[in-house]
């Protein structure tokens, strides 16, 4: 069952860029914007990452860190981060443990075929590790501004 607003997020350890592993409890004491994207180095995912990068200083000023996650392998994540110059870590969730905990694996239709994929989603976690906001089925344009406003609203 997926984590719900008001609940403590699960503490799942995953490979992260920068040759390390990361679990959400490592980030306690800071707010976390955790965003899931379908596939590294695709146009929408690239734009979303660039938008988050552009807001990184504003979020850092609000004691908030950004973490991206997808089912891509760690090598693909490293390449994506390096090529785009993202200033935050990307997680490799090949086994879908984090994806399932946040219920972002959905049936998608492309060219009449159904497949399971990551639904673009963002989650705002407070400094105590409690889920405070979620956005599902995200459209990239304007999304990061909405997230920034929600972080400011947390006070």
Active-site residue set: 45
For residue 9, the 8-state DSSP code is P
The whole-angstrom separation of Cα 20 and Cα 89 is 10
- Backbone phi, then psi, for 84, in 5-degree steps? -95, -10
- CB-CB contact of 22 with 13 (8 Å): yes
Task: Give 95's contacts (C-beta < 8 A, 6+ positions apart).
Answer: none
Beta strand pairing call for 20-22 and 113-118: unpaired
- CB-CB contact of 98 with 105 (8 Å): no
The whole-angstrom separation of Cα 49 and Cα 5 is 24
């Amino acid at each position: 069952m997926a984590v719900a607003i008001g609940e403590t997020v699960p503490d799942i350890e995953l490979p992260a860029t920068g040759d390390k592993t990361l679990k959400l409890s490592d980030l306690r004491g800071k707010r976390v914007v955790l965003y899931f994207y379908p596939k590294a180095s695709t146009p929408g995912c690239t734009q979303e990452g660039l938008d988050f990068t552009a807001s990184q200083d504003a979020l850092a000023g609000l004691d908030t860190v950004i973490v991206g996650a997808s089912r891509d392998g760690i090598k693909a994540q490293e390449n994506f981060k390096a090529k785009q110059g993202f200033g935050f870590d990307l997680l490799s969730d090949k086994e879908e443990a984090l994806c399932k905990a946040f219920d972002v694996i959905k049936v998608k239709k492309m060219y009449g075929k159904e497949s399971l994929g990551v639904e673009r989603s963002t989650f705002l976690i407070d400094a105590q590790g409690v889920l405070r906001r979620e956005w599902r089925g995200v459209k990239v344009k304007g999304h990061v501004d909405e997230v920034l406003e929600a972080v400011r609203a947390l006070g």
